[in-house]
Amino acid sequence: MDCPERRAGNPADDSPPQLESIIAGPSLRRETVAEPPSVHDDLARNLAAVRNREKELENTLQNKDEQIQEQGVHLKQLLEVQEICATKIADLEEQLRQGQAQLRQEEAQVAKLTQAWKRSTAALNQAQRQEASYKIDDKALQSLYQELMFLISSWAETYCVPDMKQLPESERQSLEPLTVVLDKYPILLKSLVMKLLVYVVFTVSSKEQTGFWWAGNQAGNLRSLYTAFLPAEPHAIPVMLRKGVLKPADVKEFSQWKARTALLFAERVDSAVLDAQVDMLLVEWKQACARFVQRNEPRVWRDLRDVIEKGIHMDLEMCKSRAFFELQQWRAKDLELLDETTFETAIGFEAAQPGMRPEIVIAPSLTKTGNADGDAFETMTFISKWTVICAENRESLKKLPKAGNGH
């Protein structure tokens, strides 16, 4: 039956009862069945959770927005700081450029002052050296001499003709002053080169124009002064002092002048001038030695040039000392005056014994008169003895190896 109250209400209530029942669902159709309370609770909880999540998202978005705004403010501040820093960097770069320019000016000034200081120091050192003793150690000088002997020995053994018998008698005449008995072996070439060194490099003569090659273009003038004021040959000074023929003060004054002069020239000689002097000597020595050399190659004379340079260097070292160093000259007949206390046989031969008769000089003795302080000129010592080959060694010359001899 129709309900009057329903028809008087909402027009929608005029719908058929079946349609209302369908729309209302089971709750209307079955009013006696109640809905479970858990469903409403779940829906309420879900709805509350959704709303809470919405609030969280809103808060998060609001926080993010605030952070972005803060970052924007911070970024703006950073840009302002960057601009300030860029300005300061530009100022610093300009200051750096100005500082570098000032530094270059100061460096140039320091360089000028340094050069002036070096010149002053050099002048002071030179003045001090002229008043000081140049002290070369005896062992150091002996080592220089042994090195020189080794160079000569190596050169002769490497390049000398294997047998002097191949040479005409006229070409062997220059060897006769070197020995009592002319044995025709390459060993004589060592003696020849050493004698050239002693007479041309180590002996000072204004007449023969020898010695003091390290003085360059002034060698001639220095030779004249040296020979004019030399009180006596160094080996004769001790005897003459003991006899009272010489005054110690004169010898000492001359030794000081000799040392100061050598020190002065050692610093001022042009190396190009010295090279020219060595080349001139090489031409002369080449003429003296070429006939005894088995092959004419450039390296033969380059090696001989090294010998000359080494000899000039050793002569300068000896002259810079206030002591008198001397390499003894010799002639063939002088060999008869030698005894076993002043000579030693060359390496590879029987050692010197009493009664042995020297026949060939490989190297003369090196003596020292006085000391590096310019005193004690009454004494003479042997820095190196004569190096010889004796008559008793003559047969062993035939067994002499071609290379490797010590002298």
DSSP secondary structure string, 224-266? HHHHHH--S-GGGHHHHHHHTSS-HHHHHHHHHHHHHHHHHHH
Q: Residues with Cβ < 8 Å from 205, sequence gap 6 or more?
A: 211, 223, 227
**Residue with tokens 């000088």, as numbered in its chain:** 141
Work out the number of other CB atoms within 10 angstroms of the CB of residue 224.
Answer: 13
- Between CA 253 and CA 234 the distance in angstroms is 14
Looking at the fold, whether 15 and 147 belong to one and the same domain comes out as no
CB 189 within 8 A of CB 156: yes
Nearest Cα neighbor of 294 from 159, 403, 165, 157 is 159
Residue 9 has pLDDT above 60, yes or no: no
Residue 10 has pLDDT above 80, yes or no: no
Give the side-chain half-sphere CA count within 13 A for 138.
Answer: 15
Distances (CA, A) of 371 to 135, 255, 328: 9, 10, 18
pLDDT of residue 8: 45
pLDDT band at 143 (very low <50, low <70, confident <90, very high): very high
76, part of any domain: no
Looking at the fold, whether 30 and 155 belong to one and the same domain comes out as no
Work out the number of other CB atoms within 10 angstroms of the CB of residue 359.
Answer: 22
Using CA of residue 75, residue 80, residue 86, residue 89, what is the dihedral sign?
A: negative
Q: Helix, strand or coil for residue 372?
A: coil
CB 266 within 8 A of CB 317: no
Looking at the fold, whether 152 and 21 belong to one and the same domain comes out as no
- Between CA 117 and CA 107 the distance in angstroms is 15
Looking at the fold, whether 159 and 25 belong to one and the same domain comes out as no
pLDDT of residue 125: 63
313, part of any domain: yes
358, part of any domain: yes
- Between CA 261 and CA 273 the distance in angstroms is 18
CA angle, corner 407, sides to 382 and 185, nearest 5? 125
Amino acid letter, 290: A
- Residue of higher predicted confidence among 154 and 353: 154
Instruction: Give, as one character, the DSSP assignment of residue 277.
Output: H
Distances (CA, A) of 22 to 11, 17, 31, 33, 144: 17, 9, 13, 16, 134
Residue 320 has pLDDT above 80, yes or no: yes
pLDDT band at 166 (very low <50, low <70, confident <90, very high): low
**Residue with tokens 């007949």, as numbered in its chain:** 333
Nearest Cα neighbor of 165 from 357, 398, 406 is 398
- Residue of higher predicted confidence among 163 and 98: 98
Q: Is the whole-model pTM more than 0.85?
A: no
Report the domain count for the chain: 2
Residue 188 has pLDDT above 90, yes or no: no
359, part of any domain: yes
80, part of any domain: no
Looking at the fold, whether 254 and 376 belong to one and the same domain comes out as yes
Looking at the fold, whether 148 and 26 belong to one and the same domain comes out as no
Average of per-residue pLDDT across 17-24: 51
Cα 337 to the center of its chain, rounded Å: 48
Looking at the fold, whether 142 and 21 belong to one and the same domain comes out as no
Looking at the fold, whether 246 and 360 belong to one and the same domain comes out as yes
Q: Are strands 366-369 and 380-384 parallel, antiparallel or unpaired?
A: antiparallel
Which of the given ranges, 100-104, 161-165, 315-319, has the highest pLDDT on average? 315-319
| Structural domain containing residue 14 | 1-34
pLDDT of residue 396: 61
259, part of any domain: yes
- Between CA 48 and CA 67 the distance in angstroms is 28
